[in-house]
Each structure stands twice: as C-alpha cells, then as structure tokens.
Amino acid sequence: MIPVDDALRRLLSLVPPVQAEPLALAQAAGRVLWADAVADRAQPPFAASAMDGYAIATQPMAGQTFDIIGTAQAGAGFSGRVGPGEAVRIFTGASVPQGAQWVVIQEDVTRDGARITISDTLGDGRNIRPAGADFSAGYRLTAPRRLRAADLALLAAMNCATLSVARKPVVALIATGDELVQPGEPPGPNQIVASNIFALKAMAEAEGAHVRLLPIARDTQAALTQVLALARGADVIVTIGGASVGDHDLVARVAEAEGMELAFHKIAMRPGKPLLSGRLDGSILLGLPGNPVSAIICGHLFLVPLVRALQGLPDPAPRPLRARLVCDLPANGPRAHYMRAVLTGDDGLPMIDPFPDQDSGRLTPLAGAQALLIRPVSAPAATVGDVVDYLPLV
Ligand SMILES: Nc1nc2c(c(=O)[nH]1)N[C@H]1C(S)=C(S)[C@@H](COP(=O)(O)OP(=O)(O)OC[C@H]3O[C@@H](n4cnc5c(N)ncnc54)[C@H](O)[C@@H]3O)O[C@H]1N2
Ligand code: MOO
C-alpha cells in the first residue's frame, strides 16, 4: 500500500503533454484556455459617456447655462469641438466629443429649447470612462484557465473570436462484474444495478471530459479483454470493480496481459484500498474498486485531478478545507480514512459531523454527505472541537 499523495503523484506523472485545438468563442464555456489571449484593441476604445446627459468643457456650477450645439449617441459621435458655454447632448456609451471634460446627467439640468441650466442639486463625478479604462490593447488573459461566463464576455470584448483551448480528454468508463445490469434492465436473482459509473460520468463531464460509457465487462478474461479493446484511443480508461484479490478480480491481470505498465496497485486509503493505475498503450488506466462509495470517493481524489491535469490545469488535486469536529473519534489505522460527513453551523470554522455508518457499499449516506472528513494515516484519537481537514463534496 502506498500513501494517497504518492499514488496521485504517480498517476499524474503518466499525463502526456496537453494537446491544444482552436475553438470558436461561442463554444468555449468551461473549456481550458491553453494559449494566452491578447486584446487587439482597448476597451473602451474612446473616452465614453457613462450617463445620459450633456457633455461640457468646464466643471459645472449651479446656475450656469450652456447652448446645445449637437448630439452624440452610442455608435454615432459628434464630430465638432465643445467650447466654453457649449454643451453636446450625449447618451450612455457615446464617445465624448473633443473639448468636453464633464458629462452632467440630465436629472441635474433644466432644459429650455436649445439651452440648459445647471440645477442646484448637482451631483459630482465626471461621468466619463477614459479610453482603456477596462483594458488596453495588448492586455492578456493568461493560460491555463478554465473559462467561466465572465471570461467569455471579456474575450469577446478583446475581439478574440477564436481561442486555443486544451482538447477535451476522452474518458472511457467500464463497469465490470457478472452481477451487474444497466438501470432499467431486469436483474436476475443474484444481480444488482450498476450505479457508480453514472456518478463518475457526471464528475468527469463536470471537469470537461468527453465520456464514453462502454458495455459492462463480464468476469472473464476474454470479456474484459474485448471491452478494453473497445476503449483503445481514450485518454483515460476507467474500470470499476475487479480491482481486489478475489478469484474474479481480473482487472490488473488482464490489463497487464494486454501490456499495461503498472504504476501502483493498492493504496493506504479507506475506502479505496485496491485502486490501481498504469499506462496501457496511449491510455492511462485507472482501476477503481467496485464498492460504490469507494469508486466515487476515488473518483473525487484521482479521476477529477487526472481530468484537470490532462487539460493542463495546475494544482489539480482537490484542496482540503478546515472544520471543527462535533464528536470524538478513535485513533485511525494504517489507511487514511475519508469519512462521509455533514457540515453543521459555523463557529469561526464550519462544524463537521461524520456519519456513524461508513460502509463503502451504502450510497444513501454518500448522497446525504456534504464533506469528506480526512483522518490521516495513524492519526491519534480526536475530540470535540479539534480542527480537522475536509474536502467539500459538490
Ligand atoms: N480478501 C479481501 N477481500 C477484499 C479486500 C481485501 O483487501 N481482501 N478489499 C475489499 C475492499 S476494501 C474493496 S473496496 C472491495 C473492492 O473490490 P473490487 O474492486 O474487486 O470490486 P468487486 O469485488 O468487483 O465489487 C465490490 C462490490 O461492489 C459492487 N459493484 C461492483 N461494481 C459495481 C457497479 N458498477 N455498480 C454498483 N456496484 C458495483 C459489487 O457487486 C460488490 O458488492 O473488495 C473488498 N474485498
Ligand atoms: O477500501 Mo474498500 O474501498 O474499504 O471498501
């Protein structure tokens, strides 16, 4: 058994260099920007009015009057110059005419025909956004970066119509076991419904992977070999089940027979001990344990960082947060324990309460959990109020 950190390091060392591809801005939500994007213009490209009102040349004072000499609106400026005693009717987003230094909002003037008078309730502020106030030409949005909604608007304003993004990693998911049927299929007397694959699909897709769900591999060397062959070409092949030491646990044996270079098998983690990984042709094989909770927690700790790393994101591991225990816990054994827990209230730090039942076969507590409380290898007994690490479950 190797420690969790060590296993993750070995897994991430299998990640090949990122492959980039060009992508239209409109398709890029959630993708990882791989080359810096550079603005070819400033925003705003000209000094722009921030309000609807009147552009004037000097600081406005209550009672002053100005003659209106023209209009500037968004998309159509005023070509002349504003001199003392003159005003240009201006609207939000219009370029500020030459000579103008202030925009007086229309609520602060009274208008009589082509003449305005500044009222005595004058607010302050010039109401002008200088050219380049948001960004200048040459501004860079630096890579790597997962593109969020606001990033896409910024890239559009920068006039970046096509981006260089990391290619979506392809993840092939294989459930293994004679006992499994797909949801909706009639189970036989000794069968159950394959479940954890759907959690893993959701988790991988949320991180930007393209997921292929392969047929269930039955517990024979021939069946597993055949389904592994269907997965060829994927960046990651995830098997679920058959990772342990039983007579029917074939994944390590079959994958090695197919040429896998094993990176590790068995980790000091609970749940998740039988985890294995290695390189198989051009793919990274991640063999998850079959117990539903074990597979899903290993998904959070290993598959999610792997999908992030394949897209070039730095620091891909989930980052632990801190919370205060609401109960006593016994000393921990030789495997780091990731305990399903809820967060209850806040006392400067969130309060964390692990479930009494930590059976790795039970999905209902996992579905109700908000956090994984981390008990390190050989941690001494802990008491109420102790500060512990946890991973949020989203
Ligand atoms: N003698 C030992 N037995 C076991 C050990 C051990 O060290 N020595 N480790 C235990 C641990 S820990 C785990 S975890 C399990 C994992 O074993 P496998 O990866 O070989 O998983 P399976 O035996 O195939 O399945 C375990 C369990 O999970 C159910 N399962 C499998 N796939 C799915 C699926 N896609 N959806 C829902 N449920 C699934 C399967 O029916 C079994 O009940 O091994 C322990 N044994
Ligand atoms: O480690 Mo197993 O994953 O305890 O159930």
Q: What mean pLDDT is predicted for residues 40-65?
A: 97
Together in a domain, 189 and 245: yes
For residue 290, the tally of other CB atoms under 10 A from its CB is: 25
pLDDT exceeds 80 at position 86: yes
How far is the centre of ligand 2, averaged over its atoms, from the C-alpha of 243 (Å)? Answer: 11
- Total structural domains within the chain: 4
- Is residue 204 in some structural domain? yes
pTM of the model: 0.94
What percentage of the chain reaches a pLDDT higher than 70?
Answer: 100
| pLDDT > 90 in the chain, percent | 96
Residues 99 and 24 in one domain: no
pLDDT of residue 347 exceeding 80: no
- The answer to whether residues 123 and 63 belong to one domain is yes
pLDDT of residue 45: 98
Distance, CA of 373 to CA of 341 (rounded, Å): 6
Q: What is the CATH number of the domain that holds 339?
A: 2.40.340.10
306 and 329 belong to one structural domain: no
Which residue CA neighbors atom 4 of ligand 2 most closely?
Answer: 271
**In terms of domains, do 144 and 75 share one?**
no
Mean pLDDT of 267-292: 97
In a domain, 109, yes or no: yes
Is there an atom of ligand 2 within 6 Å of 294 CB?
yes
Nearest alpha carbon, ligand 1 atom 24 = 241
Q: How many residues does the chain have?
A: 394
In a domain, 377, yes or no: yes
Q: Is residue 158 part of a domain?
A: yes
Q: What is the dihedral of CA 106, 107, 113, 114, to 10 degrees?
A: -30
Residue 35's pLDDT is 98
Q: Which of 110, 144, 166 finishes a domain?
A: 166
**End of a domain among 114, 145, 166?**
166
Which residue, 321, 390, 378, 318, is CA-closest to 353? 390
Quick one: tokens of 93? 């987003």
- Are 148 and 38 within one domain? yes
Mean pLDDT, residues 339-344: 97
291 lines ligand 2 (CB under 6 A): yes
Instruction: Please report the pLDDT score of residue 122 as a whole number.
Output: 81
CATH number of the CATH domain containing 189? 3.40.980.10
Q: Is residue 316 part of a domain?
A: no
Same domain, 121 and 8: no
Distance CA 17, CA 213 (A): 25
Residue 213: pLDDT band (50, 70, 90) is: very high
CATH number at residue 150: 3.90.105.10
**Tell me, what CATH number does 98's domain have?**
2.170.190.11
How confident is the model at residue 245, as a pLDDT?
Answer: 85
Does the pLDDT at position 235 exceed 80? Answer: yes
Look at residue 295 and tell me whether its pLDDT is greater than 90.
Answer: yes
- Residue nearest ligand 1's atom 28 by CA: 291
- The helix/strand count (H/E) of the chain reads as 8, 28
The Å distance, Cα 170 to ligand 2 centre, comes to: 27
The answer to whether residue 365 sits within a structural domain is yes
Q: How many other CB atoms sit within 10 Å of the CB of residue 257?
A: 13
Identify whether residues 225 and 302 lie together within a single domain. Answer: yes
For residue 323, count other CB atoms closer than 10 A to its CB: 24
The Cα–Cα gap between 299 and 206 comes to 12
What is the arithmetic mean of pLDDT over 327-334? 98
At 222 the pLDDT is 97
- What pLDDT is stored for residue 248 in this prediction? 85
Residue 18: pLDDT over 90: yes
ipTM score of complex: 0.98
Tens digits of residue pLDDT in 166-198: 999 999 999 999 999 999 999 999 999 999 999
Rounded average pLDDT over 358-385 = 97
Q: Is residue 315 part of a domain?
A: no
Q: Is the confidence at residue 239, as pLDDT, over 80?
A: yes
Residues with CB under 6 A from ligand 1: 175, 177, 179-180, 192, 194-197, 240-246, 249, 271, 273-274, 289-292, 294, 360
Residue 269 CA, ligand 2 centroid: distance in Å: 8
Q: Are 55 and 47 in contact (CB under 8 A)?
A: no
pLDDT in tens, 123-138: 889 999 999 999 999 9
Q: Which residues contact 394 (CB under 8 A, 6 or more apart)?
A: none
Do 101 and 26 lie in a common domain?
A: no
Please state the rounded mean pLDDT for residues 101-119: 97
**Is there a single domain that holds both residue 35 and residue 148?**
yes
Pairing type for strands 37-38 and 261-265 reads unpaired
The mean per-residue pLDDT over the stretch 366-388 comes to 98
Say what the pLDDT of residue 72 is: 98
Residues 109 and 64 in one domain: yes
Q: What is the pLDDT of residues 142-169, one digit of tens each?
A: 999 999 999 999 999 999 999 999 999 9
Query: Is the confidence at residue 243, as pLDDT, over 80?
Result: yes
Task: Answer with the one of 116, 149, 166 that is the final residue of a domain.
Answer: 166
Q: How many CB atoms lie within 10 A of CB 361?
A: 10
* 289 CB within 6 A, ligand 2: yes
Quote the pLDDT of residue 124: 84
Residue 112 has pLDDT above 90, yes or no: yes
Report how far apart, in Å, the C-alpha atoms of 146 and of each of 83, 156, 229, 301 are: 49, 16, 32, 19
Range 296-325 average pLDDT: 98
Ligand 1 binding pocket mutation candidate from 249, 254, 291, 335 (most atoms within 8 A of CB): 291
Whole-angstrom distance, CA of residue 236 vs CA of residue 147: 23
Structural domain of 350:
321-392
pLDDT digits (tens, 9 = 90+) for 71-81: 999 999 999 99
Nearest listed ligand to the Cα of residue 244: 1
| DSSP secondary structure letter of residue 303 | I
User: Do 173 and 249 lie in a common domain?
Assistant: yes
pLDDT of residue 123: 80
| Averaged confidence pLDDT in the chain | 97
Q: Is the CB of 196 under 6 A from ligand 2?
A: no
Cα of 183 from ligand 2 centre, angstroms: 24
Distance CA 185, CA 120 (A): 78
Tell me the C-alpha to C-alpha distance, in Å, between residue 266 and each of 98, 118, 246, 283, 284. Answer: 73, 79, 14, 20, 17
Q: Is 270 in the pocket of ligand 2 (CB under 6 A)?
A: yes
Atom number of ligand 2 nearest to Cα 272: 3
Taking residues 280-291, report their average pLDDT: 97
